[in-house]
Amino acid sequence: MNYHHEFHAGNFADVFKHVVLCRILNYLRGKPAAFRVIDTHAGAGLYDLTGEKAMRGGEWQNGIGKLMVAQTSEAVAALLSPYLEVIHALNERDRIRVYPGSPALVRAWLRPQDRLIACELEPRTAAALARNMRGDVRIKTLTIDGWTAMNAYVPPKERRGLVLVDPPFEADDDFSRLVSSLTAAHRKWAGGIYALWYPIKGRRGPDALTKRLRRLALPKVLRAELMVAPLSDPTRLNGAGMIVANPPWTLENELCVLLPALASILGREGKGRFQLDWLGEPGSRSSQ
């Protein structure tokens, strides 16, 4: 494994993933009962955007850099506000230096009764994760394979919560493992929310994933995709997708507002597009 998220932290795919994550967390916090988040491929938790790796790629400038200065409607601003507030809290007023990975975003939403299990296998990254999350009794960091954790830690004792699956997609079978791991975990914890992220370079992998998910016939599986460029160059990351099983009832309508705005802000040369549809009931579709 040679993937280093420091090169990509804060890029358009991170922004998309984390906006969806924060809307799910907002829903979970809306009820008093405790919830648990299981982050299967957590990364380091915090990223220095002034570091050598982040500066070399500069991907954050076309992601969170664009979003922070964008003018949006009141409806879009209200939905983005909880996510952007976490980023503002970590940075000086007029300068973005630190970008929060998913564990840091989740930490900002946890109440005293809520818990996070953050898993990371790569030793140096796992050590950084432990340092960045240390001192918070609500959070347990584990140096463990995320696919193993996805099966081992469901169902949680809280019975409410989210499994976030965000593998690096270096292995050829990561798309198929998304489906098989979701199937096994859903069998054990049918009421949990599952959010699965995947990259879009071309259509082959994402379409095969969609086909396999449709065959499972799981109820309530929502797909959202954000493309920032045409799929003409399969060597580039041209888009990203999120599969959400058992999504909050609020999420579809929120994404109907957010996705057009994100496509407009983050699309390269005005070529952003999005898709939002159901792979399992209820059944509405929209795309642009």
**pLDDT tens, position by position, 214-259:** 998 898 999 999 999 999 888 899 999 999 999 999 999 999 999 9
For residue 286, pLDDT over 60 is answered with no
Task: State the pLDDT at residue 166.
Answer: 93
What is the three-class DSSP state of 80? helix
Instruction: Tell me how far apart the alpha carbons of residues 282 and 217 are, in angstroms, rounded to a whole number.
Output: 12
* 259 class by beta-carbon count within 10 Å (0-12 exposed, 13-18 middle, 19+ buried): buried
Instruction: Tell me how far apart the alpha carbons of residues 111 and 35 are, in angstroms, rounded to a whole number.
Output: 9
Secondary element (H or E) of residue 130: helix 123-133
pLDDT band at 284 (very low <50, low <70, confident <90, very high): low
User: Once rounded to an integer, what is the mean pLDDT over residues 30-39?
Assistant: 97
Q: Is the dihedral of CA 58, 102, 205, 261 positive or negative?
A: negative
Query: Minimal CA–CA distance to 240: which of 255, 254, 256, 225?
Result: 225
For residue 2, pLDDT over 60 is answered with no
Instruction: Tell me how far apart the alpha carbons of residues 17 and 5 are, in angstroms, rounded to a whole number.
Output: 14
User: Once rounded to an integer, what is the mean pLDDT over residues 38-51?
Assistant: 93
Task: State the pLDDT at residue 51.
Answer: 76
For residue 68, pLDDT over 60 is answered with yes
For residue 287, pLDDT over 70 is answered with no
Task: State the pLDDT at residue 140.
Answer: 98
pLDDT band at 5 (very low <50, low <70, confident <90, very high): confident
- Tokens read off for 98: 């630190």
Q: What angle do CA 181, 185, 191 make, to 5 degrees?
A: 140
Percent of the chain with pLDDT over 90: 80
**pLDDT tens, position by position, 88-105:** 999 987 788 999 999 999
Set out the domains of the chain in order of their start, with CATH numbers.
5-28+36-287 (3.40.50.150)
For residue 1, pLDDT over 50 is answered with no
Q: Give the residue with greater pLDDT, 276 vs 172.
A: 276
Question: Is 207 a residue of the active site?
Answer: no
Q: Which of 14, 39, 166, 174 is catalytic?
A: 166
